[in-house]
Amino acid sequence: MTSQLRVIEGGAVLLEPVTADPWEFQAECVEAFVASWRPRGFSPVTVENDIGLLERTLTALGRPAWDVTPEDIDRVVGDLALAGRAASTRREYVQIFKGFHRFLQVRKAVEIEAGFGVRLVCPVDEFNAARHVGDDSLAQLPPPTPERVAEFFDFLKARIATARKYGPAARDYAMFRTLYHAGLRSEEASLLDRPDIHFSRGPFGKLHIRFGKGARTSGPRPRWCPCWTASTSSCTGSSMTCGVSSPTRRSCSRTSPEAACPAGRSATACAI
């Protein structure tokens, strides 16, 4: 029986990396890691930003990724903290390296162990793992009280009646009201356009957030957001509509507080 066994040369698994130079091999691994993002649907902007972040992280570590130790991660994160970098920035450094190291474990572990004699173990542990910003950075200021918020919007509303140009003042009021009531991020609100506001959708209308924040570096994710009653009044109070409940509500286009209003109201008496 044993006489029938033969040794067959195989080639399915590489026994050595393509190059013996660790830095050159790591550069090839980075290219392969970046190439894996595109089939997963990452946006070009996200890919470009993460490439730069990964390069800065590997440069700061100063050694090939498979030789990085937990102490190296501690050193880099500590240097970022001493430099005054935000907790979110430190978290991004750790996360991008953790993702790259995971890629090496899944696709390059055999080549690295055969060529460099290193068995991959992720150096990111429970003591230096990335955490949410709020976990390791105390809030410097408490959130505003309801009275403070009401005072802020009263100031913006009064400013509309006295501003030299009605349009910008009403725009600012509508933007802050939308942020407050619809729960938008500041960048999401700044990228809204008039066609993104749909008053005919639902009882209060909806906002089309075309540049919503992505999850796990997946790029912008569009979504629909209810305007709600207050934010609908806010958006209609800009130079698009007057915010008055009337058949002509969506056709009014005031440009000043004293312009014609279907209900004969002033800017301060309107529903904005």
The model's pLDDT over 82-101, given as tens digits with 9 standing for 90+, comes to: 998 888 888 889 989 999 99
3-state secondary structure 9-55: CCCCCCCCCCCCCHHHHHHHHHHHHHHCCHHHCCCHHHHHHHHHHHH
Q: How much is the pLDDT for 155?
A: 92
Residues forming beta bridges with residue 223, ordered by sequence position = 209
Q: How much is the pLDDT for 120?
A: 92
Q: How much is the pLDDT for 139?
A: 53
Euclidean distance between CA atoms 234 and 199, whole angstroms: 12
Cα–Cα–Cα angle for 222, 228, 229, rounded to 5 degrees: 150
The model's pLDDT over 197-244, given as tens digits with 9 standing for 90+, comes to: 888 887 778 888 888 877 655 667 888 888 764 444 444 444 333 333
**Residue 6 Cα to chain centre, angstroms:** 57
- Give the pair of three-digit tokens for residue 238: 């800009």
Res. 31: pLDDT tops 90: yes
The model's pLDDT over 107-150, given as tens digits with 9 standing for 90+, comes to: 999 999 888 989 999 998 888 775 554 444 455 667 888 899 99
Euclidean distance between CA atoms 178 and 172, whole angstroms: 10
**What integer best gives the mean pLDDT of the chain?**
75
Lowest-confidence range among 39-43, 54-58, 207-211? 39-43
Q: How much is the pLDDT for 205?
A: 83
